[in-house]
Structure 1
Amino acid sequence: MIEKFLHDEQDQKAVEKVYTRLIDLLTTGEEIIYIAVQKKPLVNILPDCIAITNKRVLFFTPANLGLSIKFIDYVWKDVVDVYTKEEIIGAIFSVKTTSGAEMGVDYLPKVQARKLYQYAQERKEAEREARRLRDLEQKRAESGSVQFETPSQHVAAHQIATPPVPEPTPEPKLEPVIVHHEEAKPDILTEKLKKLRTLFDNGLISQEEYNHKKLELLNDL
């Protein structure tokens, strides 16, 4: 099974150790794409390794004199960018994450570093496209929700904000006021006539003054 990861001068023993560890780490639907092995100019008994899957990138470092392997992994959605730098001896491959963390391995065979960079870029592009589609679906869902709710809300708002215009008050309703005013006049006139009569009966005014004043009051009707 590991033969497909030995085409670019990878150290077979290192790949075997990493592959055995990787099998236990794979999640449902996760597949190994490439494994790169560090190759220092001097004897490197315990090289670092990098593995790329369709879901993440993993950095492996031997520990306890090669009896165990430590690893750090980053899912592709958290990888901001990947870098490769070719030097006189080998190349460096590193990644930068959304949290600002950086991880890399040096002294990689240049062909392996190039393959890592190529596959990493492909996975990042696939992740960007998947994110774009998710955002598009979310916007469509939100847009559909607004379009579904807006008509009813608009009608309700229109009904509340636009009450029916009241009909003009019929003219007959003003008649009681006019009648009341006219009915009040005889009451005032009667009082004045009574006072005028009292003045006359008490001899305070003459018959002529009484008749004259009475005529004036009656003319006001």
Structure 2
Amino acid sequence: MNIDHYINDGQDPKVVEKLLLKLQDMLVPNETVAYVAVQKMPAVTLFPDSVALTARRILLCESTKLGLATDFKIFPWNVIRDVSFKEGILGARFVLVLKNGEQVEITHIPKNQARKLYQQASSFFEEYQREAETGETIRSGTEVLESALPVPCPSEIVDELTSKLQKLKSLFEKQLITQAEYEQKKNELLSQL
């Protein structure tokens, strides 16, 4: 795997290579990683977090279990309200503001990586917004976005349906809806699978 494109700004090659291998199985056809930023703490960074950016989504990758596992937080462009970064003395914070008002950030990104990450993310976000408004397909780097809305991965759809089904069951158990309403709504949700 050629990772030279992803380590131009001082990213740790081992972290980037390991991350890209994991992401290969998560990307949809025609989706490529455009940029990777890797956390660098002021002292020693044993298990750095990272951010991977595609034209469809932002993936926050948090190292867990002493670097043996990775938790992925995936944010398609349609759930994002704004992207920004804030520079500090020893690095920068990359910040996502979601449409639900929640702020998600990753700290200790080297300043040059944060600037490039912000520049690329802003570009993709603007393209997504134009596509959502006009319905046109916009060429983004080597990748053509196929629709105005990013395609969520199957696990995101299942997680959302599971959450809705749990809420529905809770409403039924609290006797806020009838058995018939519960069954009708449950069948509607399950038909989405």
Q: Normalization by structure 2: what TM-score?
A: 0.68
- SS in structure 2 opposite 1:25? coil
Residues 1:16 and 2:17 aligned together: yes
Q: Spell out the pairing of 1:111-122 with structure 2 (5 A cutoff).
A: 111-122=112-123
Q: Deviations over 1:123-149 (max 9, x none)?
A: 1110111011139xxxxxxxxxxxxxx
Give me the whole-angstrom Cα distance separating, in 1, the residues matched to 2:101 and 2:3: 33
Residues 1:92 and 2:93 aligned together: yes
Structure 2 partner of 1:69:
70
**Shift >3 Å, 4+ stretches:** none
Q: Deviations over 1:65-115 (max 9, x none)?
A: 111111101001211001100000011101011122221111111000001
Structure 2 partner of 1:108:
109
Structure 1 partner of 2:49:
48
- CA RMSD in angstroms comes to 1.2
Gaps of 5+ in 1: 136-221
- SS in structure 2 opposite 1:96? strand
Structure 2 partner of 1:58:
59
Give me the whole-angstrom Cα distance separating, in 2, the residues matched to 1:33 and 1:4: 9
Give me the whole-angstrom Cα distance separating, in 2, the residues matched to 1:40 and 1:30: 30
Structure 2 partner of 1:34:
35
Give me the whole-angstrom Cα distance separating, in 2, the residues matched to 1:3 and 1:41: 25
Give me the whole-angstrom Cα distance separating, in 2, the residues matched to 1:35 and 1:16: 10
Structure 1 or 2, whichever has the larger Rg, is: 1
Give me the whole-angstrom Cα distance separating, in 2, the residues matched to 1:26 and 1:59: 14
1:64, distance to aligned residue in structure 2 (A) = 1.2
Q: Compare relative contact order (CA 8 Å, sep 6+) and give the higher one, 1 or 2.
A: 2
Identity of aligned residues (%): 37
Which structure's residues are more often helix, by fraction?
Answer: 1
Gaps of 5+ in 2: 137-193
Q: Say how many residue pairs are matched.
A: 135
